[in-house]
Amino acid sequence: MTSSEVLSAPHFMEFPYTRSTGPMVGAFLTGLRDRQVLGVRDSTGRVVVPPPEYDAATAEALPHDQLVPVGPEGVVTSWSWNAHVRPGQPFDRPFAWALVQLDGADTSLLHVLDAPPEQLSTGMRVRIRWADETTGFINDIACFEVVA
């Protein structure tokens, strides 16, 4: 290398955080490990998924030992097309992000939807595609896929 060449090198900064989940998110992730999505019923009677620790209206703690199973299928309430894939994203090809209201839930969960762009529509039915191995992490849901 001559002195006129510009030096350049890869450089990364990484923070390998380990986070405590707390009882509510821990129970939600434990459910995912068992291939079951859980929500919690709040003070207004709505089933919230994923379950928050505290009630949005009253700020009271919600019971993490009385979670409500919801369905593996649901409806897309909103979506966004991810045309340019970045490193670390769930797929190495374009895909959609979607808000999915699972059957039995009153709120929507943000996740990945593996569907061609021409099939995407608000109100479409989708189902969970589980990861081959579940570990107790949000990626236990590999993605959502279209219900034929």
Contact between 127 and 141 under an 8 Å Cβ cutoff? The reply is: no
The DSSP annotation for 26-73 comes to: HHHHHHHHTT-EEEEE-TTSPEESSPPSB-TTT-PBPPTTS-EEE-SE
Per-residue interface string for the shown chain with other proteins, residues 25-64, x marking contact by CB under 8 A: -xx-xx--x-------------------------------
User: Which of 72, 90, 104, 136 touches other proteins (CB under 8 A)?
Assistant: 136
Contact between 133 and 35 under an 8 Å Cβ cutoff? The reply is: no
Please say which residue, 20 or 121, places its beta carbon nearer to other proteins.
Answer: 20
* 65 touches other proteins (CB under 8 A): no
What are 128's two structure tokens? 């969970």
* 12 touches other proteins (CB under 8 A): yes
Contact footprint for other proteins (CB under 8 A)? 3, 6-21, 26-27, 29-30, 33, 87-88, 136-137
